[in-house]
Structure 1
Amino acid sequence: MATTTLLSTFAQDVRTGLTDKNKYLSSKYFYDDAGSRIFMEIMKMPEYYPTGCEFEIISQQSAQILSKLNFSGPFNIVEFGSGDGMKTKHLLKAFTNAGASFTYIPIDISQEAIDALEHNINAFVPNIDMQPRTGDYFEVLEELSTTSDVPSLFLFMGGNIGNYLPDDALALLQKFNAGMKHGDKLLVGIDLQKNPRTIQLAYDDPHGITKAFNMNLLRRINNELEADIALDQFDFYSNYNPQNGEVNSYLVSLKKQHFHSTVLNQTFFFEKDELVWTELSKKYLIPQIHELAAASGFGVSHNFLDCRHYFTDSLWEKV
């Protein structure tokens, strides 16, 4: 029998989430290698506007972003959750063309994503000074805070901040702030409130790709925790509430059922139509962005917007 002390964090979190009164699985576990591949498919969907909007901002306004940094010498660009680098490469190219001297430090939990990023960046921006890391954001942040004497631009792109509950978002940003030096900047991608139908289609697409992204959590439990989940007995549901700006996603049990995990040595029970919450994706108003920045120890230098004002890359400075 496996003991708690020997279980992975993933295993412990699955046990905690699936024994809670209101079952849940953490969205941070979407991004194993298979999940990262599915998310790359999501980003290519015509309905999934955040990628295109942020790509527009980065590809057309990188020079303005660089000018707003006001860095007088060499600096670091540290990207949290870098993925495959397909958007960031345009920022790096523009900075390079402008003569900026920087070291790019992408951080991602997926080694496969880092491998793809290295290929994409090196092909697009030859001879770039790049030091990729696989693993935890905060280990790298702590290392930089003690070893680097140049300013840093931190990137937290893609609207990822919307995946955190309000208190968790504030705690994360305060943790970023605590690891940054005065004068460091944070460029954070934030999805904005807009026509509810536009948002709903982005998170419940007609192609079934978002469903596959969520179902991959169950496949991961089967594979890593030696479980016997019948995947065809679960469905996917997502809903956008325009009054609070929240998209919530769920897995739905289609019948009264149970599954067993050998690794956890535990059986989990589900009622018919019982929900398993998987993800929050919050959409913000501009005043809320300024409030969040101030509460976490930052000042907003500039909000870079796409032409439809669907999305912003918001530049913050540690104060």
Structure 2
Amino acid sequence: MTVPQRRLGELEVSALGLGTLGMSDLYGPADEQESIATLHAAFDAGITLVDTGDFYGSGHNELLIGRALAGRRREDVVLSVKFGARRGPDGSFLAAGYDVSPAAVLDRLAYTLRRLGTDYVDIYRPSRFNPEIPVEDTIGALLELQTAGYIRAIGLSEAGAETVRRAAAVAPINDLQIEYSLLSRGPERAVMPVLRELGIGLTAYGVLSRGLLSGHWDAGRRLTAGDFRAISPRFQGDNLTANLRLVEALRGVAERLGATTAQVAIAWVAAQGDDVVPLVGARTRDRLGESLGASGLILDADTLREIETAVPAGAASGARYPARAMADLDSER
């Protein structure tokens, strides 16, 4: 199977991207060899967009991707990298806020380039904005890196509509990465209209709501230490019970289509516009293979209505992050 291509801002990328956080962090143990094999399988299937962050596994994820890229043509892969989050030696996220200062922009990219084994990044983006650091300062520093050839394009992450406008007034913005799924419809209200007005693409992460919409989750699943879902509101108690009812309704649609629940959830995101590229967080070749099946799934207008009846906008129970993390989201202010 070859994944079709799609425009993401000014770049041509695969219509399905690979998010790699789970290969290093926050979702339980991962096998490095299987992770690299999954990356290779993604490349071979035509996935060109690979998303990471310098704080994923405190640098481990970038090193992993660098190993997977060895021997491959660099120009065949579009690397999207986030920066800004700060972590302690125990892996904890520091509460002091995100460092997206101009000095940090330069410093963090230097380490990213070394870990990835490349001399440029295709899309570089602050993972969150810090209210104490003007958006204009951060984007100005990124523009200098772009002019110098160290990055091809500037991206944003979890930015609200006003911040998108402020950033775009300083430099061309390629795309906004934001959580967007059947259970997270917030971007539709104010952010997506601004993106389309300005010609900015949308990279959707969390398209399976961290596994909730995969069709593989059940209420009795035991989580390992450090798994983010142990503190995620949507996976707790009555919230989980209510959300799994929505998944069962979606499963009914998938069965009629001869597809899996995950494939329908991914295809729904992809169907929201040619300017939207879903990221799938597959950690194994099996899960990647299932996700790739979404590329060939065409949802007509009647099916889209059926899906939205099964999982209506606003039906999710629980916030998408714990309260402390929600406070860091410019997109939610």
TM-score range, shorter chain: 0.3 to 0.5
Return the structure number with greater strand share: 1
TM-score in terms of structure 1 length = 0.39
TM-score in terms of structure 2 length = 0.38
Of the two, which has the highest radius of gyration? 1
